[in-house]
Amino acid sequence: MNIKAIGKKALEYDKYSGCSQSVLLALQEAFEIGDMESFKAATVLSGGVARKGETCGALIGGLLALGLVIGREDITDTQTYRDAMKPSDEIIKEFQKRLQETFGFTEPLETTICRDIQKKIYGESYDLTDPVSYKAFLDAGGHGDKGCPLVCGIAAIVTAEKLIELGA
């Protein structure tokens, strides 16, 4: 399996907007997991959840893919729930580390908040629900190869590595 190709696909998909779906779809295709219902459910999680700048949608897409592979199928299965937290945390930490390395952040990235990641990448954060601010985001390279699509590629790669490690 070509992990870099998964990342490239997520990067390319994000040019259509929808970081959560971009990452999730690239992983769904590569690992043959989930379905169009899970893909549809991720629609509103992009841009930091409904474009509100909260938790990074690209990361959420990766964690959704992880859940499709190791998640519980029964709400009473608390052990599977607990067991899923360790690889989730490992994906988050590796995602933060790779963003720092890729974008050359001078200080460790200790957040997964979309607007904080935007500020590190672009020097400011944007209100993606406001047309003027969204245009400024696009003008700053928001959907260019060195912007949020690259964040999607990193999230997909980090998640793919973990899924392979888990035997998916």
Average pLDDT per run of 10 along the chain, which is 168 residues long? Answer: 93 92 97 96 95 96 98 97 97 97 93 95 94 94 91 98 95
Q: Give the per-residue pLDDT at 145.
A: 87
What's the pTM value of the predicted model, to 2 decimals?
A: 0.95
Q: Which amino acid is at 133?
A: S
* Segments forming the whole domain that contains residue 102: 3-165
Beta carbons within 8 Å of 106's beta carbon, 6+ residues apart = none
Work out how many domains the chain is built from and give that number.
Answer: 1
